[in-house]
Amino acid sequence: MKVVKQLFLSGALLALSCGSAFAEETLKPFILGYKTNGDIQAVADEAKSKVEAAGFEVAGSYSPYDGAIVMAITNDALKKDAASSDFGGYAAGQRVTVTKVDDEVQVSYTNPMYYANAYRLEDTSGAAAALASLESALGNSQTFGTGDKQLSAGDLRKYHYMFGMEYFDDPSELAEYDSYEDAIAAVEEGLAQGRGGATKVYRIDIPGKKETVFGVALNDSGCSGDEYIMSRVDKDEIRSTGHLPYEILVSDGDVYALYARFRIAISWPHLPMIQSDTGATFFNIMCAPNAIEEALIKASGGEV
């Protein structure tokens, strides 16, 4: 009896330790560094200086609409992570955002660990280091972006919004070329000419691979436009401006983008389809996924 009791206690302790080992931290896509007041450009300049001092390169920046400034940042460790898996380039450019809401200015940034898992990176060490550096440079007042929805790293790696909607590995296939060089040239030309209402915000080349990610401003006033989409879904008190910009990924001779029903939902996984207290719903942007895909096909030189 004594032996049985000891075995039972040992088994219970083992179960508890295994439960702890497999318990996963919940992750959110965005982190509010701090709130302040004043001129938005001055705040953005200060934030830029802080992230550069922390070892990040600002790959590009833009203002998608009044009251918002987005800076895309990267470093060698993030690029190394991006090179660790297929289509990892999407995670190479993290975002630091400055958003004016009434008289308040919010300085936020994307959570590198959230997107490292959402984009299925094999190596996340650079993301972990980047997160620590960003917290040190800009602070961490709160994480946000999933509402009451709890998402672990494992959840993110198999995420889709609902049955029948796309996963990470169901991208939009925008165009196909004979070589990586031809694909890069076509995308550069399309963005320079503003085809589909798309223009270049940044370009990051992934080391050791024929892979490049472009950050793309979508300037159309209709369904594909940055302002159109954000005005309809980004209505929480703390803004999710770091959803922008959209990406185009060149891998070898092929040109891709994450399909909008995945790419938008991963930034607002808690957003309801039809009704919410704030009026922000996916129903409000039903026209966006196909419009975004069409705009990016045009920018990439593909055929709609």
DSSP string, 68-125: EEEEEEE-HHHHHHHTTSTTGGGGS-EEEEEEEETTEEEEEEE-HHHHHHHTT-S--H
Cβ burial 52-62 (10 Å sphere, 16+ → b, else e): eebebbebbbb
Mean pLDDT of 87-112: 98
Separation of CA 294 from chain center: 20
Assigned domain for 101 exists: yes
Question: How many domains in the chain?
Answer: 1
Note whether residue 11 is domain-resident: no
Task: Please determine, for residue 298, whether its predicted confidence score (pLDDT) is greater than 80.
Answer: yes
Per-residue pLDDT band for 17 (boundaries 50, 70, 90) equals very low
- 174 assigned to some structural domain: yes
Is residue 183 assigned to a domain?
yes
For position 209, which CATH number holds? 3.30.310.70
Q: Does residue 1 belong to any structural domain of this protein?
A: no
| Residue 5 forms part of a structural domain | no
Quote the crossing angle between the two packed helices 125-138 and 40-53, to the nearest 10°: 130
What local confidence, expressed as pLDDT, does residue 15 receive? 42
pTM of the full structure:
0.91
Question: Residue 42: CA atoms inside 13 Å, Cβ hemisphere, count?
Answer: 4
Query: Tell me, what's the pLDDT at 12?
Result: 43
Q: Are 55 and 126 in contact (CB under 8 A)?
A: no
> How does pLDDT run across 30-77, given as a tens digit for each residue?
999 999 999 999 999 999 999 999 999 999 999 999 999 999 999 999
Q: How confident is the model over 221-271, as pLDDT tens digits?
A: 999 999 999 999 999 999 999 999 999 999 999 999 999 999 999 999 999
Judge whether residue 5 has pLDDT over 60.
Answer: no
Q: Would 17 be classed as within a structural domain? A: no
Of the chain, the percentage scoring pLDDT greater than 70 comes to 92
123: in domain: yes
Q: Provide the residue range defining the domain that includes 240.
A: 26-300
